[in-house]
Amino acid sequence: MISVKNLSHSYNKDETYQVKNISFEVKKGEIFGFLGPSGAGKSTVQNILTGLLQLQQGEVKVADYDVKHTSKNMFNKIGMSFEQSNVYSKLTAKENLDFYGKLFDVATVESMELLKRVGLDGKENIKAGEFSKGMKHRLTFARSMINNPELWFLDEPTTGLDPSIAADIKNIIREKNNEGVTIFLTTHNMFIADELCDRVAFIVDGEIKLIDSPENLKLQYGEKLVEVEYMENNEVKKKTFSTVLPEDKKALEIVIRDHDILTMHTKEATLEEIFIKVTGRGLV
* pLDDT tens-digit series, residues 60-99: 999 989 999 888 889 999 999 988 888 999 999 999 999 9
Spatial neighbors of 254 by CB under 8 A, at least 6 apart, are: none
The torsion region of residue 64 among left (phi > 0), alpha (psi -120 to 50) and beta comes to left
Radius of gyration of the chain (CA): 23
In a shared domain, residues 194 and 143: yes
CA distance linking residue 188 with residue 256, whole number of Å = 39
Q: Select from 280, 255, 198 the least CA-distant residue to 28.
A: 198
Q: What are phi and psi of 210, to 5 degrees?
A: -165, 160
CATH number at residue 147: 3.40.50.300
In a shared domain, residues 180 and 238: no
> How much is the pLDDT for 222?
74
In a shared domain, residues 181 and 263: no
Q: Is residue 279 part of a domain?
A: no
> How much is the pLDDT for 221?
81
In a shared domain, residues 186 and 255: no
Q: Is residue 227 part of a domain?
A: yes
Q: Is residue 133 part of a domain?
A: yes
* Count of the separate structural domains present in the chain: 2
- Name residue 120's amino acid: L
Provide the domain limits for residue 258: 223-267
> How much is the pLDDT for 242?
86
> How much is the pLDDT for 175?
96
pTM of the model: 0.85
CA distance linking residue 128 with residue 60, whole number of Å = 35
> How much is the pLDDT for 84?
84
Where do runs of H (alpha helix) occur along 13-132?
42-49, 72-77, 93-101, 111-117
Q: Is residue 10 part of a domain?
A: yes
In a shared domain, residues 70 and 177: yes
> How much is the pLDDT for 69?
86
In a shared domain, residues 170 and 259: no
CA distance linking residue 250 with residue 244, whole number of Å = 10
Within 10 angstroms of residue 260's Cβ, the number of other Cβ atoms is 9
Query: Within the chain, which residues score under 50 in pLDDT?
Result: none
The terminus-to-terminus CA distance of the chain in angstroms comes to: 30
In a shared domain, residues 208 and 242: no
Burial of 107 (0-12, 13-18, 19+ CB in 10 A): exposed
> How much is the pLDDT for 218?
85
In a shared domain, residues 72 and 135: yes
In a shared domain, residues 168 and 72: yes
In a shared domain, residues 136 and 64: yes
